[in-house]
Structure 1
Amino acid sequence: MDAVERANTERQKRWVKDQKVGEGTYAVVYRGREFATGRKVAIKKIKVGQFKDGLDMSAIREVKYLRELHHQNVIELLDVFSSKTNLNLVLEFLDSDLEKIIKDRTLVFLPADIKAWMAMTFRGLEFCHRNFVLHRDLKPNNLLIASDGQLKIADFGLARDFTDPGHKMTCQVITRWYRPPELLFGSRYYSTAVDIWSVGCIFAELMLRTPYLPGETDMDQLKTIFRALGTPTEEDWPGHTKLPDYVPVGQFPRTPLRDLFTAATTDTLNLLSKCLIYEPRKRIGAKEALHHAYFFALPYPSHPSKLPKLSNNTSSRPLDEVDGNVDMNASGPGVKASAPNRLKRKLSSPGDELGGRPLARRLDFTQKRS
C-alpha cells in the first residue's frame, strides 16, 4: 500500500455513515458522524461506476470549488475520500433547506425574516462572484439552513469559473423556473447576472410562498416570464433577437410588480425589479445589492437564530409574536408594508457607515439580537 492509499484509508476511517437520507441518479447522501468526536456530517457518495469515462464532471467541480470557497454562507467541504469505485464528499451537516421552510405553512414569515435570508444569500453569492465562480443552479432547495439559522449556498455541481469572458459556456444550466431568459434563448456567453436572476426568483418566492415563474417547458418558461414582466423590446434588451435560440414568443404587456406584490415596500420592489432586468449587463450585482436601500430600512434583518424553523425540528413562531406586518392570507404575497420600513437608523459611530449609507447592524450576523 503506497502513501496515497494509506492516507485515503485513514481519512475513510475518520468518518462513519449512519443513515441514507437521499438518493439521486449519480449520488447518495448519508447522515454520518466523525468517529472520534461524534460530530454530525453529511456524506455524499458519488457513484463513479455510473460514468463511462470515469468520474462525473459535476463531482470534480464540486470538490474543486468547495476546496477554494470558505465563507459563512457557503457550505463547508470537510474531507474527500474514495471507497471502492465511489468518491465520498464529507460536508457539514445541514438538516433543512429554504424550499422546505417556504412550503411549511405552519411557519409565519416576517419582513425581517425574508430580509435576513436575502442578505445571507447575497453575501454568499458575492463571495462566490468575487472569486470568479458562477453557481449556475441557485434555487431554494440548494440554499441549506444550519441549526443556528445560518443560510449556506450548496450544490456546486454546475458551478464554473468565469475568468475568461470570451469563453463559450453551456446554456443548459440552472433549474428551469430560476433560469434567466438569456439562457432560454441559448446565450453561450454570460456572467454573474445569471445567478442574480435566480436570486430574484427566490426573493419573489419568499414573498409569495409559491414559485414565481413555474414554466412547464423551455418555451412555456419564456411565456411565463413575459406574461409576468412583459415581452422585451430592443430598447429593453438590445440584441436579444440575435441570440442563437431566439424565437418570437408573443406580445405581453408589462404588469407592474405592485399588482402582484401588493403588500411589499417600495424598496423591496425596487431591489426585486433590479434582479429581474432583461438586459443582463444592467442587472444588479451581488455587492451592489448588499448596499441597496432595502437592507438599510427598518425592519432590520432577523438574527439567524430567530428565523422560522421547520415545525418538526422546533416549534414555529407563535402567532402572538406577529405584530401585524404579515398577511395571513396564504394566497397573497405574505408581507405587508409597514410605515417604519421607510425609516433609516441614525449612525452611532463612523464605523457604521458603508458606501455613504448607514449599514443596518443586523447585517452583522455574528451579534445576537439585543
Structure 2
Amino acid sequence: MDVVEKANAARQKRWTKDRKVGEGTYAVVYQGREAATGRKVAIKKIKVGQFKDGLDMSAVREVKYLKELAHQNVIALLDVFSSKTNLNLVLEFLDTDLEMIIKDRSLVFLPADIKSWMAMTFRGLEFCHRNFVLHRDLKPNNLLIASDGQLKLADFGLARDFADPGYKMTCQVITRWYRPPELLFGARYYSTAVDIWSVGCIFAELMLRTPYLPGESDMDQLKTTFRALGTPTEEDWPGHTKLPDYVPVGQFPKTPLRELFTAATADTLNLLGKCLIYEPRKRISAKEALSHPYFFALPYPSHPSKLPKTASQLAASRMAEEAETNVDMNGPGPAVKAAPPNRLKRKMSGDDIGRSVARKLDFSQPAAA
C-alpha cells in the first residue's frame, strides 16, 4: 500500500456512516459521525464507477468549489475519501432546508425572519461571486439550515467559475422554477445575474409560502414568468429576441408586484423587483443587495438563533441545551437560561415586528473563514 492509499484508508476510518437520509441518481447521502468525537456529519457517497471518464464532473466541481469557499453561509466540506468505486464527501451535518421551513404550515414567518434568511443568502452568494463562482442551482432545498439558525448555500454540483467572460457556458442549469428567462431563451454567455434571478424567486416564495413561478415545461416557464411580470419589450431587454432559442411567447401586461405582495413594504418590493429585472446587466448584484435600504429599515433581520424552527429542530435544540446544563454536575448549579422561543403557531405583534424579536445582522463583520 503506497502513501496515498494509506492516507485515504486513515481518512476513511475517521468517519462512520450510520443511516441513509437521501438518495439521488448519482449520490447517496448518509448521516454519519466522526469516530473519535461522535460529531454528526453528512457523508455524500457519489457513484463514480458508472461514468466513462471515471468521475462525474459534478463531483469534481463540488469538491473543487467547496474546498475554495470557506464562509459561514456556505456549507463546509470537512474531508474527502474514496472507497472502491465511490467518492465520499464529508460535509457538516444540516438536516433542515429552507423548503422544509416554507412548507411547514405550523410556522408563522415574521417580516424580520424573511429578511434574515435573505441577508444570509445574499452574504453566501456575494462571497461566491466575489470569488468568481456561479452557483447555478439556487432553490429553497439547496439552502440548508444549521442548528444555530445559520443558512448555508449547498449543492455545488452545477457550480462553475466565470473568470473568462468570453467562455461559452451551458444554458441547461438551474431548476426550472428558478431559471431566468435568458437561460430559457438559450443564452450561452452569462454571469452572476442568473443566480440573482433565482434568489428573487426564493424571496417571493418566502412571502407567498408557495413557488412563485412554477412552470410545467420550459415554454410554460416563460409563459408563467411573463404572465407574472409582463412580456419584455426591446426597450425593457435590448437584444433578447436575438438569443439562440428565442420564440415569441405571447403578449402579457405588466402587473405591479404590489397586487400580489399586498403586505410587503416599498423597500421589500423594490429589492424584489431589482432581482427580477429582465435585462441581466441591470439586475442588482449580491454586494449591492446587502447595502439595500430593505436590510436597514425596521424590522431589522431576526438573529439567526431566533428564527422559526421545525419540530425536529426544536427537539434537537432542547437536547443540546439539556446536555450543556448537565456538563458540570459538581458546580454551584446550572445557569438559568431563557427557554428558546417556540415559534409554532405564534401570532404576529407590533413588538415582534419592530423591536423584541428583530435583531440587526452585523454586516460589518468580516466573513468567517
Per the normalisation by structure 2, the TM-score is: 0.88
Contact 1:103 1:209 in 2 (8 A): yes
Pairing 1:311-322 to 2, within 5 Å after superposition: 311-314=311-314, 316-319=342-345, 322=348
Indicate the residue corresponding to 1:197 in structure 2.
Answer: 197
**For residue 189 of structure 2, what is the amino acid of its counterpart?**
Y
> Which residue pairs with 1:270 in the alignment?
270
Please give the alpha-carbon distance, in whole angstroms, between the structure 1 residues aligned to 2:74 and 2:103. Answer: 23
Which residue identity does 1:210 align to in structure 2?
T
The count of aligned residue pairs is: 336
Three-state SS of the structure 2 residue aligned to 1:313 is: helix
- Residues 222-301 of structure 1: matches in 2 within 5 Å? 222-301=222-301
What is the Cα deviation at residue 361 of structure 1? 3.9
Q: Distance in 2 between matches of 1:174 and 1:135?
A: 9
1:179 lines up with 2:205 in the alignment: no
Question: What code does the residue aligned with 2:362 have?
Answer: L
Residue 56 of structure 2 is matched in structure 1 by 56
One-letter amino acid matched to 2:217: T
Aligned equivalents of 1:43 and 1:364: distance in 2? 32
Matching residue of 1:111: 111
Q: State the shift of 1:201 in Å.
A: 0.1
2:346, 2:89 → 1: CA distance?
43
Gaps of 5+ in 2: 316-341
Distance (Å, rounded) in 1 between the aligned partners of 2:224 and 2:96: 29
1:127-206 equivalences under 5 Å are 127-206=127-206
CA shift, 1:51, in A, is 1.4
CA distance in 2, matches of 1:155, 1:199: 15
CA contact (8 A) 2:147 2:313 kept: no
- Residue in 2 that maps onto 1:363: 362
Q: 1:23 to 1:294 in 2, by over 3 A?
A: same
Name the stretch that deviates more: 5-14 or 309-318. Answer: 309-318
Match of 1:85 in 2: 85
Distance 1:145 1:365 in 2: 22
**Residues 194-247 of structure 1 deviation map (CA, whole Å, 9 limit, x = unaligned):** 000000000000000000000000000000000000000000000000000000
Q: CA offset at residue 311 of structure 1?
A: 2.0
State the match for 2:349 in structure 1: 323
Matching residue of 1:126 = 126
Cα distance in 2 between the residues matched to 1:295 and 1:80 = 37
Superimposed CA distance per residue, residues 257-304 of structure 1 (whole angstroms, 9 cap, x where no aligned partner):
000000000000000000000000000000000000000101110011
Regions of 4+ moved over 3 Å: 318-321, 363-366
Structure 1 226/320 Cα, relative in aligned 2: closer, same or farther at 3 Å? Answer: closer
TM-score (norm 1): 0.88
Match of 1:95 in 2: 95
Report the Cα offset of residue 35 of structure 1.
0.4
Answer yes or no: is 1:216 the counterpart of 2:213: no
1:18 and 2:13 matched: no
Question: RMSD across aligned C-alpha pairs, in angstroms?
Answer: 1.7
Q: 1 CA distance for matches of 2:199 and 2:288?
A: 14
State the alpha-carbon separation in 2 of the partners of residues 188 and 319 from structure 1: 46
